[in-house]
């Protein structure tokens, strides 16, 4: 869905997305920083990716809701998603869609036959 830095994504593991307290964070990257709170298991992406991440997660949750939140592990996944909703809403506002993301969305819609 979204290209990721393999090293940073590996460190992120399955930690929740959130805003990290600078006093306890570990910075990753050279030009841009991602923050990682090992104690609370929270990962904060660099600024230019926050909105993209939020919109991707909201898309997956809305399209695959039944498969994600029902059956074995559904309650756990719903709880983890719910804990991140406020942060993801903030990230969506802080980092609105740019021209590249909008163009990408339209190209995908030509292939899929619907807009995301």
* Three-state secondary structure call for residue 99: helix
- Percentage of the chain beyond pLDDT 70 is 91
Whether the CB-CB separation of 18 and 10 falls below 8 Å is answered with no
Q: What are phi and psi of 44, to 5 degrees?
A: -115, 115
> Phi and psi of 7, rounded to 5°?
-65, -50
pTM of the model: 0.83
| pLDDT per position as a tens digit, 95-111 | 999 999 899 889 989 99
Question: What is the H or E stretch that residue 10 is in?
Answer: helix 6-12
Domain map (residue ranges) of the chain:
6-94
- In the predicted model, is pLDDT for residue 1 greater than 70? no
**pLDDT over 70 (residue 38):** yes
Say whether pLDDT at 52 is over 70.
yes
**Cβ-Cβ contacts under 8 Å for 75 (sequence gap 6 or more):** 69
């Amino acid at each position: 869905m979204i290209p990721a830095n393999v090293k940073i994504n590996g460190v992120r593991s399955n930690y929740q997305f959130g805003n990290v307290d600078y006093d306890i964070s570990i910075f990753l990257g050279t030009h841009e920083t991602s923050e990682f709170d090992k104690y609370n298991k929270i990962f904060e992406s660099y600024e230019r990716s926050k909105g993209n991440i939020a919109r991707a997660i909201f898309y997956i949750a809305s399209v695959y809701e039944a498969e994600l939140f029902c059956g074995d592990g559904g309650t756990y996944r719903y709880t983890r998603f719910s804990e991140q909703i406020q942060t993801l809403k903030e990230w969506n506002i802080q980092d609105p869609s740019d021209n590249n993301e909008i163009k990408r969305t339209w190209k995908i819609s030509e292939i899929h036959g619907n807009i995301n």
